[in-house]
Structure 1
Amino acid sequence: MTQVCAQENLYNLLPRLEEKAVRPPRYISTFRPSVKYEAQKNKAPWKTIGPEKIEVPSPKDFLRKGSREPKLLQRQKGHGSKKISTLPPVPQKTDHPIIGVQVKKNFIRTNAVDAVMGKPKTYQPVCVDRRLGDKYLLETSGLVPKFIKKKDYGIIPKYIIKRNEEVKKAQEDYNAYFKEAVREQAMEWISDEERENVLQDLKKAWEETHHEFQCLSLEIDTLPKRMHKERLESHLKQLEHDIKLIENPHCIYIPKK
């Protein structure tokens, strides 16, 4: 229960001591002296107001005409008076040049014999796509019948023969298993004549149902008409499924009568 004091209360006349909030000490980093030293060390005294002392240029060093143009170095005496020659000197009369070993081989005859007895140079056959087109090697163009010259050309690969044998064996195993299951369940195989008769009956039933479906009225506005239409559609779908199943070349087995 809370106690509510009136505006005039005896306790309000007593002096109260003002409680001052005690502020915690300010945080000072331990790296403050080193940072302050580095900042003062890297700061120059003329960082913001310019250098302390500036050398004033002399009034005698004023600009003159052509003083800023580049000047070439003066040639020193004793250098550049003679031109340096890169060619070898001309031999003197007294010089005796060194003569190489003399060969008695008849190069003309040798070249003629090599030309007669040598084999002619062979060129790789090329192919050109058009009269003014680029030419490229005929061997890599795909126009050379390489594959028909292979020994195994036209022969069925071994992996296909192996796969066909596996498929044939699996089909034989399945037929044997199915015949055994049919024999155990006393089922008989439907002949081709019976299959053809059943197929004709199904097609005839489909034609009759389809004719009945075509004779429906264009406006289906009542519930019996809608139900009759849905029944005919489902019957047509079932007949189509049965016809497709009978036309399948696989064997069909039915239970014995």
Structure 2
Amino acid sequence: MFIFRYMSKFREQEKLEKEVNKAPSKTMGPAEVDVPSPQKYLLKHSKEPKLPEKKQFKYEDDELHSTPPIPGRTDQPLMGLHTNKNFIKTNAVENIMAVPKKPQLGYARTKKGDKQLLENSASCFRCSCIPCIQSILFTDYGQTPEYLIQRREEVKKAQEEYDHYVKERMREGAMKQLSGEERHNILQALKKNWDHLHHQYQGLSVVTDTAPKKYRKERLEQEMKQLETDVELTERHKTIYIANN
């Protein structure tokens, strides 16, 4: 029995392509690359970037603003020049006759004080006062801001809803309003209780060296503080509603 091994019909073509592609590159790289010369070997620091040659710095307008050269030793200055001008008197007369400079009008456009100058202020604004300038520049000057109007509407709406709720509860008989006399009596009773506790607090020992003394002092302070809160709340609100339970 004979076993035949499979032989591709492209075998010879593949061997030819392999030889063509591999044989020229058996050296140090492809054939089209030149072999480096032994005389041009790699030197130290040859691949590092090199700075350009140092040149003397010079401004473009040096010639316009340059100072004149120092006079030589042989140069003679002009001698014998005199003037009869009285500089003190001349300066005094110029300052007296000078017209004061008017500052240019401006306004602060931000809260940090950033100033914005006004162009043609003399022709545009007859009056230089700040309210007149602001009334011309800002159309909403002197008017109520939008957020305040919105806040006022929210407060008004909340008050109306609260009044409606109170009326409904009073109609159902679940709440009633304290009269002025009842409110006054409650307020006086709260103050009387506070005076009584305060009298007891004043009679406490100065030294709280035991646990019962400390506990009694803390209890009196807590009760007095609660009464103070109730008195303040009652005095602040003129209209008080209580639930009928």
Instruction: With the length of structure 1 as denominator, give the TM-score of the two structures.
Output: 0.44
Larger-gyration structure (1/2): 1
TM-score (normalised: structure 2): 0.45
* Structure with the bigger percentage of helix: 2
